[in-house]
Amino acid sequence: MLGLCHTGRVNNLRWLNPTQPQTLYSAVMLAYFRGASIVLFGNDYYRVMPYDLLGSFASRVSPLLLLIALIGGGLGIANEKKLGFRCAIAAALYSVIATLWIIVRYDVGLLGLLLRLMFDLVLVVLLLHPQSKEYRRIWFS
């Protein structure tokens, strides 16, 4: 009997890439953590005035888009794709701006928002760190 050879395409999809610098590796894990927190805590952070246009958008559409951008961004970074990096940085910056807007504009529970703001700022710093930028410039396609 002849041996069968599998010549199909190999799936090289990575969820984590330990060969990347520590800053990018940590950013990927933090992006996944933020995505999981959106799934676990839902719209709790986005509860604002119901008749406000921005509040209505933020409470219904934004968490889903943010979840997709964070998970997709983390997956893209782990697979060294520029689009993944752009998605992750856009999601992190949007989350920082939205959180600051909610803190300034509305009277809501401050502790949860400050904790969320801290994680989002750390994600931005990890993604914009010089070591991350240098690795991205050389290796990302």
- 119 in any annotated domain: yes
- 2 in any annotated domain: no
- 10 in any annotated domain: no
- 87 in any annotated domain: yes
- 12 in any annotated domain: no
- 8 in any annotated domain: no
Q: Is 64 helix (H, G, I), strand (E, B) or coil?
A: helix
**pLDDT tens, position by position, 10-27:** 678 899 999 999 999 999
pLDDT, residue 35, reads 93
- The percentage of the chain sitting over the pLDDT mark of 90, rounded to a whole number, equals 50
Q: What is the mean pLDDT of the chain?
A: 83
pLDDT, residue 33, reads 95
- 133 in any annotated domain: yes
**pLDDT tens, position by position, 92-109:** 999 898 888 878 877 777
Please state the domain count of the chain.
1
Where would I find the H helices in the chain?
A: 22-41, 53-60, 62-78, 82-105, 110-128, 130-139
| Burial tier of 67 (Cβ tally within 10 Å: 0-12, 13-18, 19+) | middle
Contacts of 132 (CB under 8 A, 6+ apart): 21, 23, 24, 27, 126
Q: What is the pTM of this model?
A: 0.81
Task: Indicate if the pLDDT at residue 50 is higher than 60.
Answer: no
- 17 in any annotated domain: no
Structural domain harbouring 60: 22-139
- The percentage of the chain sitting over the pLDDT mark of 70, rounded to a whole number, equals 77
Across 66-80, average pLDDT? 94
